[in-house]
Structure formats: C-alpha cells, structure tokens
C-alpha cells in the first residue's frame, strides 16, 4: 500500500513537472539568450518553483482521493433525487465553496489589496467573486434543466458586462475582467464540468455535447459583472489613491524579501487550511442532511482533504518565492531592453506553452472528443485554444505598452464572439465558451499577472492598478474566438468532402 502510494506520488510529481516545464523553458530562454544575465534572487526563485511542483502534485492528489469523488457522487445523487430547490442550492454552494479556496483567486486578491493600498479588500473581493460563481453555476444548472440555448444567456451576459463597464471606475475594470479568468481553475473546473455533463446525460432530451458544457463559461462571466458593481460601490465611498502611491506599493510587492520561520509557516498553513472549510461544510451538509447517506471511505477522504490543505499552502508559498518574482524581473528586464517586440514574443510563447500542458484543458478536450463522437479532435482543439491564449496575452501586453484602455479591446472581442456564435456549429459553441475558462490555470495566472503588473510598473505613465490587470481577461477571451473559428473551418471542410 505504502509503495503503491509512493509510485502514485512520483507520477503526480512527473505530471506537475510537465505542467511547469514549458514555463521553465521559455523563461530560461529569454533570461539567458535575450536578457543575458542571471537574476540576483535565482536560488529563491528555483526553490519557489520546486515548492510549486511539489505543492501542485500534493494538491491534485488530495483532490483526486478526497474532494472529487464526494462531489461527483453528490452530483449524481441530486440528479437522481430530482429536487429542483436542493439541486440549485447544491450548485450554488459548490460554486461558492470551490471558488473561495481557489489558489489563483487568493493570489490575485492579495495583490489587488496591496496595490490598491487596502481600498480593495482582499476577503470581500474573494467573497464577491465566490458569490458570483455560485450564482452562475445555479443559473447554468437551471439552463440545462430548462433546455434553453446557452448562447442566449452568454450574449445577454456580455451586454450586461459592457454596460456595467461604462459606469465602473477604471481602477476596477481590469481586475473585474481578470476575476472571470481566475475562478475556473484547479479546484473548480473538474467538479463543475462533472456536474454539467452528468446532469445533461441523466435528463431525457438533453445532449451532453451541447447542453453539458457551458457551466464554466457562466462561472467566468458572472464575476466580471459582480466585481464591477463592487468597484462602483467601493469607489463611491473611499477617496482614490494617486498613481505615485500605487507605484510605490507595487514596487514593494515586487522587491519584498520574505523571511520564513517554522512558526510563521505553521501559522500561515492554518490560515490557508481554513479556506477548505467551506467545501467541507457544503459536502457534509448535503451528504448527511439532504441525501442522508454516509460518505464512503471516510478515512481516505479525510487524508485527501489534509493533502489539499498542504498542497494549497505549498503552492501559495512557491508563488511568492518563485513565479511572482520571475514574472516581475522578466517584465523589468524586457522593458529596459527597449525592444517591445520581445515583450510580445514572450507573451505569445508563455501563453502557448503553458496552455498546451494545462491539465484542465486536457480533461475538457478529451471529454469533448468522447461526447462529440469524434467530431472534435482533442489535439486540434488544444492547439486552437493555445493559439487563442497566446494571441490574447501578446495583444494584452501590446495594450499595456501602448497605454490603451482595456474597454475597447474587450468590447471588440465580445462583438466578434457574438458574430461568430451565429456562424459556428452548435456542437462547438458551449465548448468554445468553456475553453476561455479552463486556460487560466493556477500556474499560468500568477506569472501572467506578475508580467502585467511588472510592465505597468516599469513603463512611464502607466498605473499598475488601471493598466496592470487585464492580461488574464485577454487569455480567456481569445480562445473562444479561435475555437469557434476551428469549428467553422472543420464544418466547411466536412461539407466539401461530402
């Protein structure tokens, strides 16, 4: 048993190393071949990357043996139970509890709080995003039950996002758009995808390929609306901070040296572990009170939950030591060279390489291939998504360098998505919308966020709070365009062959 566990952990380490390897290759190439110097804090960065690899392996293993089996069993039990109220309530709390513990959201919320000088409250931002995801999952489940076409909901949501943007303060817009990307990652995607596909498979008259996908897209869309509303409220009651104050704050964030003692690590671990409590409460309540069935293999589930806590803390610790400093240093070095094309090239390569190894995308692409009966090629789908992310990050970097408003880019992108929705085949639309959410992983988000904040800090006339956020939103938007483009092209080729 112990030997088997060791083999499984080694396999998880290999997988998490594979996820990090494309980033390491791209970063090493730019650091050595382009910049031509070794960063001063190289040792701590390498330690941070190693901690991320180990933490990610532990975290995913804990999810596999602790959280996922219980969540999937609950989804199946509720689908059989047939109670609309409890099903929608379960969907809400699954969305809320998984999002509040999302590592990428924790990292982004902490940075937003520091950069805004505390004006954007870290905990309240996380609660706002988590509530919006819970609402989104409930709405998505209701759509599956009613059998409504998904694109009507999505297009209406985009119209509300754009309308809200015109009233939201500029300091919150980029962060709001990014919030939609960071919510659908390691914890959320598998549970939400299993819930949607399971419901569509168990309800007569529903097509899993058309109706089963789409919950992830809802979870990406709603936070944009809710966070902008939160920003409207906050910035109507608090005085704005100046650009210079923000610049000093972000400089402190990037250059800060952390000291870690055993006592501090233990306290920080307890602080992170409490983020898992909402998931446990939701699962326990619905399992024992509503379904009235005991949790199978409870000791195994308990050990999995403990591993989730350890992996989550290790991951966040590694981010602070590794990926955030790497992204900030590269942004500083690339802007000092003076050749902006290198910045765009770096953004493109980071976007493509990390997306091709994204576990959530691999899972969604494989499932899409199975459900579509081969109409969707999983590898071509992955490449289409990766190209979209690469274009998005590269274009987002261009926006920061040029100092353009994010609103015009995002609105243009949404208009293009809406137009392509009417030409794309029905089977590809929900998967295209979902692909925007699965690309922004717990590994990609911190590096991309650090790149955006670093560029905004080091380019004269840019405000990190206004210009630094938004790259994640670009990485979530453009895969929808490229995947629908793939669907339209595949349909045309199929017609010609016939």
How much of the chain exceeds pLDDT 70, in percent? 84
Amino acid 387: pLDDT: 93
Collapsing DSSP to helix, strand or coil, 254 comes out as: helix
Predicted confidence at residue 391, as pLDDT, reads: 94
| Rg of the chain over all Cα atoms, to the nearest angstrom | 22
Read off the pTM: 0.73
Asked whether 484 and 421 are in contact (CB, 8 A), the reply is yes
User: Does the pLDDT of residue 98 top 90, yes or no?
Assistant: no
Neighbours of 183 (CB within 10 A): 31
pLDDT value of residue 244: 43
Helices (H), 403-470: 406-421, 429-438, 444-458
Q: Which H or E run includes 134? A: helix 122-146
Domain that holds residue 353: 2-497
Query: DSSP string covering 186-212, please?
Result: TTHHHHHHHHHHHHHHHSTT--IIIII
The pLDDT assigned to 390 comes to 92
Q: Mind listing the pLDDT tens digit for each residue in 197-238?
A: 777 777 777 777 677 777 888 888 899 999 999 999 888 776
pLDDT confidence of residue 250: 40
Cα-to-chain-centroid distance, residue 487: 24
Residue 243, pLDDT above cutoff 60:
no
Convert the pLDDT of each residue in 4-39 to its tens digit: 767 777 887 887 787 778 778 888 888 888 877 777
Separation of alpha carbons 224 and 183, rounded Å: 11
Who has greater pLDDT, 450 or 186? Answer: 450
- In 295-452 the beta strands, taken as DSSP E runs, fall at none
Backbone angles phi, psi at 116, to 5 degrees: -85, 5
Q: What is residue 306's predicted lDDT score, i.e. its pLDDT?
A: 86
Question: Distance between CA atoms of 188 and 183, rounded to whole angstroms?
Answer: 7
DSSP letter (8 states) at residue 102? -
Chain segment 146-178, per-residue pLDDT in tens: 888 888 888 898 889 888 988 888 888 888 888
- Domain tally, the chain: 1
């Amino acid at each position: 048993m112990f030997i088997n566990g060791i083999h499984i952990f080694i396999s998880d380490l290999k997988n998490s190393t594979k996820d990090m390897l494309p980033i390491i290759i791209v970063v090493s190439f730019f650091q050595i071949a382009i910049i031509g110097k070794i960063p001063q804090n190289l040792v701590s960065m390498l330690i941070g990357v190693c901690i991320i690899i180990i933490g990610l392996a532990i975290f995913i293993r804990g999810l596999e043996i602790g959280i996922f089996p219980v969540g999937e069993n609950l989804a199946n039990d509720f689908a059989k139970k047939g109670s609309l109220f409890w099903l929608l309530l379960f969907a809400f709390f699954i969305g809320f509890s998984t999002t509040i513990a999302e590592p990428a959201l924790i990292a982004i919320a902490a940075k937003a709080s520091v950069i805004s000088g505390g004006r954007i409250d870290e905990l309240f931002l996380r609660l706002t995003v988590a509530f919006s995801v819970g609402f989104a999952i409930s709405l998505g489940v209701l759509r599956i039950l009613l059998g409504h076409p998904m694109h009507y909901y999505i297009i209406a949501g985009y119209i509300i996002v754009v309308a809200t943007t015109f009233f939201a303060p500029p300091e919150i817009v980029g962060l709001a758009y990014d919030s939609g990307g960071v919510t659908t990652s390691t914890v959320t995607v598998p549970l939400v995808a299993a819930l949607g596909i399971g419901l569509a498979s168990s309800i007569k008259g529903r097509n899993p390929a058309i109706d089963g996908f789409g919950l992830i897209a809802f979870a990406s869309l709603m936070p944009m609306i809710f966070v902008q509303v939160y920003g409207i409220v906050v910035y109507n009651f608090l005085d704005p901070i100046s650009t210079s104050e923000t610049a000093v704050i972000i400089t402190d964030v990037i250059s800060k040296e952390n000291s870690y003692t055993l006592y501090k690590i233990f306290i920080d671990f307890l602080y992170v572990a409490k983020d898992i409590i909402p998931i446990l409460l939701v699962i326990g309540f619905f399992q024992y009170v509503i379904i009235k069935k005991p949790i199978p293999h409870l000791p195994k589930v308990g050990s999995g939950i403990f591993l989730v806590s350890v992996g989550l803390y290790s991951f966040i610790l590694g981010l602070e030591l590794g990926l955030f400093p790497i992204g900030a240093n590269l942004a500083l070095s690339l802007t000092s060279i003076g050749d902006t094309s290198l910045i765009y090239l770096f953004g493109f390569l980071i976007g493509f390489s990390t997306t091709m190894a994204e576990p959530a995308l691999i899972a969604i692409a494989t499932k899409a291939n199975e459900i579509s009966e081969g109409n969707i090629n999983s590898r071509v789908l992955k490449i289409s998504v990766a190209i979209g992310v690469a274009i998005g990050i590269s274009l987002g970097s261009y926006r920061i360098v040029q100092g353009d408003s994010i609103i015009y880019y995002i609105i243009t992108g949404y208009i293009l998505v809406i137009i392509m929705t009417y030409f794309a085949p029905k089977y590809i639309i929900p998967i295209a919308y979902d692909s925007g959410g699965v690309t922004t992983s717990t590994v990609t988000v911190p590096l991309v966020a650090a790149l955006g904040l670093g560029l905004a800090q080091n380019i004269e006339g840019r405000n990190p709070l206004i210009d630094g956020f938004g790259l994640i939103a670009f990485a979530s938007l453009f895969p929808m365009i490229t995947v629908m483009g793939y669907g339209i092209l595949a349909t045309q080729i199929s017609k010609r062959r016939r």
